[in-house]
Amino acid sequence: MDVPPFAASVAALDLDPWPLEPGQVVEGSPEVRGLLLHADDAMERGVWEHTPGVSRDVEADELFVVVSGRATIHFEDGTVLEIGPGDVGVLPAGARTTWHVHETLRKVFQTRR
- Determine, yes or no, domain membership for 57: yes
Q: What are phi and psi of 10, to 5 degrees?
A: -60, -40
Query: How do the pLDDT tens digits run along the chain, 113 residues long?
Result: 577 888 999 999 999 999 999 999 999 999 999 999 999 999 999 999 999 999 999 999 999 999 999 999 999 999 999 999 999 999 999 999 999 999 999 999 999 98
- Determine, yes or no, domain membership for 21: no
**CATH assignment at residue 47:** 2.60.120.10
Domains in the chain: how many in total? 1
* pTM of the predicted model as reported, rounded to 2 decimal places: 0.94
- Determine, yes or no, domain membership for 8: no
- Determine, yes or no, domain membership for 12: no
- Determine, yes or no, domain membership for 39: yes
Please give the C-alpha separations between residue 9 and each of 30, 52, 62, in angstroms, as whole numbers: 24, 22, 21
Q: What's the domain range around 37?
A: 32-112
Spatial separation of the C-alpha atoms in residues 109 and 45, rounded to whole Å:
6
- Determine, yes or no, domain membership for 1: no
